[in-house]
Chains A and B, each alone.
Chain A
Amino acid sequence: MIHFENVSKTFSEKSGNTHAVRGATLEIKKDTIHGIIGHSGAGKSTLIRLINQLEQHDEGLISVFDYADIRKLNKESMRMLRQNIGMIFQHFNLLESKTVLENVLFPISAFQKVSKTTREKALKLIEDVGLKDSEHTYPAKLSGGMKQRVGIARALINDPEILICDEPTSALDVDTTSNILSLIKKIKEQRDLTVVLVTHDMHVIKAVCDDVTVMDQGYIVEHGTLDDILFSAKHPIAKSLTASIGFNIDDIAKDYGHLPNLTLLRFKGSVTSEEILSRIIKQTGAAINILFANITPSKEGLMLVSIDFDDIDVIKQALEAKGVEIINDRF
């Protein structure tokens, strides 16, 4: 759906050049919610702005839909590309001089007369995002969460295949954030929609994303499914991000480094609901000390244990026989 091949973007400024994106290679799959996370200045906002060419890359190739190289598009094709990509913003960017309905219709009314069907579609969208009866209100009268709902409805008016979300919840409180994220998730499930979401908050990633890209200083430092990142992130930034949502395995491993045979276990699918460990303990008489355990949004289990037993390989074989993956290269 979206493919980056060795893409770089540099901003020249008086104070020197800023390498916002450096040699990014990335695949964003159709019908997924793809999160891009990193600290401020990591280049994540620039990276997503390349998708609809709000910024132009200096090097590399970006293909979106059937366009093999979006840098080479003429004006008309660029307009079509952009109309097929909806976008919502951190500060909502609503037009203050227009009502909710006029805002939602704007991506169409800027080009042509609005038909009755389009108007009805807009009203339906406004209802879908939970703003029924607010269609004639001006944005200044709306709360932050409501403004973002208008932003979402407006981004969807052209039935885009891609929705770009630039820090969509960073200006919102915790409860509103979770409501907006649920809305994005619901909308994604109702339509053929690929969502690319930029955030600095790992909770947002955990709440909605299927795939995750971690960026630092313009580089893509980790890339994979959410579970991959939670289980096997190696880059310090990625590790500190996973730690921020309670997956602070490395800190715990460091604190309990004196314990024997620290082992990280990954329980996939149905194995999370079986009593695997207690059976092994009963059978072998091994002492297994659980230091950390958590379950990811996709129901995979992660456990950090210390195994006190003479023949460690017996335990490992027993675990592997049950489909538990042993990750030992992390520490």
Chain B
Amino acid sequence: MIGFDSYLQAFNETLYMTLMSTAFVGIIGLGLGVMLFSSAQEGLKPNKTLYSALSIITSVGRSIPFLILIVLLIPVTRIIVGSILGPSAAIPALVVGGVPFYARLVELALFEKGHDLKETGRAFGLSDIKIITKILIPESLPALIRGLTVTAIALAGYTAIAGAIGAGGLGNLAYLYGYSRNRPMVTWISTMLIVGLILTIQLIGDLLVKKLSKT
């Protein structure tokens, strides 16, 4: 019998995977996105070689299907996490899958007002680092949060795939206990829980953006 405790545990695992991976993706993706923006032709320090290299990496990263990515990363996961089962084991694949996605969104967000803001900062004598931290990121914060919301939702979806092949969570519950043992009710409840999670993420993201936008 699948009791309340099982759903709660699965939900917590999904939440854990989503939040942990979003946190890592947020930090690493922001860094990579800033590097992409900075090295681009209109960026702070144009560098064709670096930009092309980063661009290829992010494009390739985004084009590998997530299921295949998990399999490919098994050796790496084993070294970092020490196991290839459980919620923590899903994190490396989720991060590798999410970073290129978010990095591109960051690049786009910064690019929007980037040229004018870069020039403004330079005119005041700011260094490139200061232009990034004091102008570009604060000014692009609503767009960055919006991008992170989209990313977190994609990651929540990925956790279900990871769950189905051993990471636990709602995906695991829906597939292993619901589908494989022919108990559609379990699948339905799991689905509703994950939809609820995604709607909540969207709601929090929207509220944050609204609070941060000064328009």
Contact = CB atoms under 8 A, between A and B. Distances in A.
A59 to B, nearest CB: 21
Interface stretch (A18-26, A29-37, A72-80, A287-295): A72-80
A227 B125 CA distance: 36
Contact of B125 (A80, A91, A96, A97): A80
B135 A95 contact: yes
A163 B135 CA distance: 22
Contact of A140 (B124, B125, B214): B214
A85 B121 CA distance: 13
Contact of A89 (B120, B130, B138): B120
A97 B122 CA distance: 18
A199 interface: no
A220 B58 CA distance: 46
A79 B139 contact: no
Nearest to A138: B214
A110 B130 contact: yes
B125 A83 contact: yes
Chain A interface mostly: mixed
Contact of B122 (A82, A96, A164): A82
Given A75-B127, A82-B124, A140-B214, A97 B139 contact: yes
Nearest to A78: B125
A91 B115 CA distance: 12
B119 A110 contact: no
B116 A52 contact: no
B214 A97 contact: yes
Interface in A106-134: 106-107, 110
B116 A93 contact: yes
Given A110-B134, A140-B214, A93 B119 contact: yes
B49 interface: no
B120 A93 contact: yes
Given A95-B139, A96-B215, A110-B124, A54 B119 contact: yes
Interface residues of B, number: 20
By secondary structure, the B interface counts as helix
Interface in B118-151: 119-127, 130, 134-135, 138-139, 141
A110 B126 contact: yes
A324 to B, nearest CB: 46
A107 B119 contact: no
A138 B212 CA distance: 12
Interface string B203-215: 0000000001011
Interface string B184-215: 00000000000000000000000000001011
Contacts of A82: 122-125
B28 interface: no
A83 B127 CA distance: 12
A101 interface: no
Most A-side CB within 10 Å, residue of B123, B138, B214, B215: B123
B19 interface: no
A146 interface: no
B117 interface: yes
B124 A83 contact: yes
A87 interface: yes
A110 B127 CA distance: 10
Given A54-B119, A83-B125, A93-B120, A140 B141 contact: no
Contacts of B125: 78-83, 107
Interface in A34-64: 52, 54
Contacts of B121: 110
Contacts of A80: 125
A206 B30 CA distance: 49
A138 B121 CA distance: 19
Given A82-B123, A95-B135, 9 more contacts: A82-B122, A82-B124, A87-B123, A91-B116, A93-B117, A95-B117, A97-B138, A98-B138, A98-B214
Nearest 6 Cβ contacts at the A-B interface: A82-B125, A138-B214, A79-B125, A140-B215, A87-B123, A93-B120
19 contacts: A54-B122, A79-B125, A80-B125, A81-B125, A82-B122, A82-B123, A82-B125, A85-B123, A89-B116, A89-B119, A91-B116, A93-B116, A93-B117, A95-B138, A96-B214, A98-B214, A110-B130, A138-B214, A140-B215
